[in-house]
Amino acid sequence: MPLLHLLQQEYGHINEESVNWVAEKLDIEPINVLELVTFYPGFRQTAPGKYHIRVCRTLSCAMAGCYETMEKFCEVAGIDRSNVSHHNPIAVSEDGKFSIEFAECLASCGTGPVCLIGDEFHESVKADNVAEIIGKYD
């Protein structure tokens, strides 16, 4: 896993070449690497945007209005989520600047709705705050 994290940090996602590279380096089968990469949502197999947004959708954040937050994010960043499905959870904006997906409980339920943009954590992200937050990323 640490190798996969490093590769994702470097390239933004895990591609086929990375899978084969890890398998060779660790002297394991490529299928063993694929097993991990596809299990964890934290390993992305498709390239995200420049800034990747993860909005928590679990109970407390949902109660605090995360669905509205998500809609607002999509509106402000210009992302179309209509093709999102289980096998395709990430939606990327037209200009490639932002990508977005739902995430499960991010362990900050008292300050919901919360989201991660890249490695930066944002709390109390109501629909009204979204534009301001997006503005910080260029």
Partner 1 sequence: MEAPKYIKGKEPHKSEYRMIFRNVDRRGWDASIKSYIADGGYRDLKKALKMKPQEVTDEVKTSGLRGRGGAGFPTGVKWGFIPPNNKKPVYLICNADESEPGTFKDRYIVHQDPHQLIEGMLISCYAVGAKVAYIYIREEFPEGAKILEGAIEEARKKNLLGKKILGGKFNCEIYVHRGAGAYICGEETGLIESLEGKRPYPRIKPPYFPAALGLYMCPTIVNNVESLCHVKHIIAMGGREYAKIGTPRNTGTRILCVSGDVIRPGYFEVEVGKITMGELINDVCGGLRKGRKLKGVIPGGSSAKVLRAGEKYTIGTGESERTIGINEIPMDFDTLAACGSMAGSGGVIVMDDSRDMTWILNNINTFYAHESCGQCTPCREGSLWMKKITDRMVSGAGVPSDLKTLTSVGDNIAGRTICAFGEACAWPTQSFVAKFPEDFKKHTSRRNAGKELNPESKAAAAGLKR
Partner 2 sequence: MNLLMSPANKQTEDLVNVQVDGHWIQVKRGTRMIEACKQASAEVPHYCYHPKLSSPGNCRMCLVEMGMPPRPAPGQEAELDNDGHAKISWMPRPVIACANTVTEGMGIRTQSTLAKECREGVMEFLLINHPLDCPICDQAGECTLQEYSVEHGKGESRFLENKVKKPKNVDIGPRIRLDDERCVLCSRCVRFTQEIVDDDVLGFVDRGSHNVLTIHPDKPLANNYSLNTVDICPVGALTSNDFRFKMRVWFMRETKSICNGCARGCNILISSRENKIYRQTPRENNEVNSSWMCDSGRLNYHLLESDARLTDPMMKKGKSHETVDWPQAIRSTAEGLLKYKGDEVAIIASARMTNEELYLVRVLADTLETKNVDTLKCHGEGDDYLNHKDRRPNTNGAKAILKLRSPGSRVNSIKKGIESGSIKALFVYGENIESKGFDDRVLSKLKFLVSSHILANPTAKLSDIVLPGASYAEKRGSMINATGRLQLLNKAIEPPGNSRDDWEILQDLNRAMDGKDFIYELADLFSEMASIVPVLKGLTLSGIGEKGASVIETGETIPLLEREAQRVNQGLIVG
Residues that bind partner 1 (CB under 8 A): 1-2, 4-5, 26, 32, 35-36, 39-43, 54, 57-60, 62-63, 67, 85-86, 103-112, 116, 119, 121
Closest CB 101 distance from partner 2, rounded Å: 15
Among 12, 15, 30, 105, binds partner 2 (CB under 8 A): 30
Contact code string over 79-108 relative to partner 2, x by CB under 8 A: -------xx---------------------
Choose the stretch contacting partner 2; rule: CB under 8 A; options: 7-15, 27-35, 109-117, 129-137: 27-35
Query: Got the DSSP string for 75-137?
Result: HHHT---TT-BTTB--EE-TTSSEEEEEES--S-GGG-S-EEETTEEE-S--GGGHHHHHHT-
Secondary structure in 3-state letters for 82-97 = CCCECCECCEECCCCC
For the chain, the straight-line distance linking the first and the last C-alpha, in angstroms and rounded, comes to 30
Choose the stretch contacting partner 2; rule: CB under 8 A; options: 5-13, 34-42, 69-77, 120-128: 34-42
- Residue 3: helix, strand or coil by DSSP? helix
CA distance 69 to 58: 13
Q: Which residues bind partner 2 (CB under 8 A)?
A: 19-20, 28-32, 34-35, 38-39, 86-87
